[in-house]
């Protein structure tokens, strides 16, 4: 039976392997014919969307892997807006609103409210947290 | 979202405040679910039970006092705060000083709580 999944990522991209595990989990479920509409990044997880992150060449880049997943599968990558702003993750609208030099969020990600996590919980058969 | 489609959410909070930002995120998530009229419950486990201490003054630390937010949860129709009794005992919490809606659960109670929710979110 094909299921609708949603993921909640709380882990920061450069702290341990949790973020990379979450991407691998996403790819595994898609490969088995399930669907993944949305990944919601909350708390330190929002750092995943930082466009300027540079990963050493011999390591896997969570940023690159998430962006690739979104492009290949049209998965929405949502950064919790209140968690994101606190951590300096701004899109161009927020950068203008808060008079900051420029956008810092990678274009594969969007800012959104916690309502989008609540909505994902309602529509998804499975909601899996990566902390 | 129709009533038939409503899925219940259990938010599990396992970290102490203010040493971690996760307790705040857990509460924000529970409040968002409640604001959208979705069934939501909270469970405090491990160091998370320290969030329930009554005499919290986080002004010197420069962060918000989360116990005040916990005390306001009934306004959002989150009436019960489920507390891991073993963790509460390990940290020496006084049962009388817990928020009004606190309910102590033993291991069997926690298992039943986990089993009756559609989604479990671990913070």
The fraction of chain A above a pLDDT of 70, given in percent, is: 100
Class of domain B3-122: alpha beta
Residues of B in contact with A121 (CB under 8 A): 7, 9, 33, 38, 118-119
Q: Where are the domains of chain B?
A: 3-122
Cβ–Cβ contact B38 with A under 8 A: yes
* Other Cβ atoms closer than 10 A to B92: 6
Class of domain A4-130: alpha beta
Whole-number Å distance between alpha carbons of A51 and B15: 29
DSSP state, residue B91: T
Task: Give the per-residue pLDDT at A106.
Answer: 98
The mean pLDDT value for B77-81 works out to 91
Query: What's the mean per-residue pLDDT of chain A?
Result: 97
Residues of A in contact with B120 (CB under 8 A): 129
The fraction of chain B above a pLDDT of 70, given in percent, is: 96
Query: What's the mean per-residue pLDDT of chain B?
Result: 91
Reported as a pLDDT band with limits 50, 70 and 90, residue B5 is low
| Interface touch A10/B25, C-beta < 8 Å | yes
| Interface touch B7/A121, C-beta < 8 Å | yes
Per-residue b or e along B14-49, where b marks 16 or more CB atoms closer than 10 Å to that residue's CB? bbbbbebbbbbbbbbbbbbbbebebebbbbbbbbbb
The mean pLDDT value for A97-110 works out to 97
Task: Give the per-residue pLDDT at B56.
Answer: 82
Nearest to A9 by CA among A88, A60, A63: A63
Q: Is the pLDDT of residue B2 over 80?
A: no
């Amino acid at each position: 039976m094909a299921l609708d999944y949603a993921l909640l990522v709380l882990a920061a991209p450069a702290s341990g392997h949790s973020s990379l595990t979450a991407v691998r989990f996403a790819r595994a479920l898609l490969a088995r014919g399930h669907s993944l509409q949305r990944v919601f990044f909350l708390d330190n997880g929002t750092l995943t969307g930082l466009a300027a992150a540079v990963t050493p060449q011999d390591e896997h880049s969570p940023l690159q892997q998430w962006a690739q997943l979104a492009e290949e599968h049209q998965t929405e990558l949502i950064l919790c807006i209140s968690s994101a702003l606190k951590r300096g993750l701004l899109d161009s609208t927020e950068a203008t609103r808060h008079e900051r030099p420029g956008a810092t969020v990678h274009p594969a990600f969007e800012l959104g409210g916690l309502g989008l996590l609540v909505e994902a919980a309602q529509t998804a058969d499975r909601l899996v947290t990566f902390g | 979202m129709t009533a038939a489609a409503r899925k219940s959410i259990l938010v599990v909070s396992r970290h102490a405040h203010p040493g971690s930002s996760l307790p705040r995120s857990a509460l924000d998530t529970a409040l968002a679910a409640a604001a959208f009229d979705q069934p939501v419950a909270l469970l405090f486990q491990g160091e998370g039970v320290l969030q329930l201490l009554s005499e919290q003054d986080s002004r010197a630390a420069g962060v918000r006092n989360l116990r005040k937010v916990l005390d306001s949860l009934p306004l959002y129709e989150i009436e019960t705060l489920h507390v891991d009794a073993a963790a509460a005992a390990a940290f020496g919490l006084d049962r009388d000083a817990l928020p009004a809606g606190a309910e102590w659960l033993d291991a069997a109670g926690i298992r039943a709580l986990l089993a009756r929710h559609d989604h479990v979110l671990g913070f």
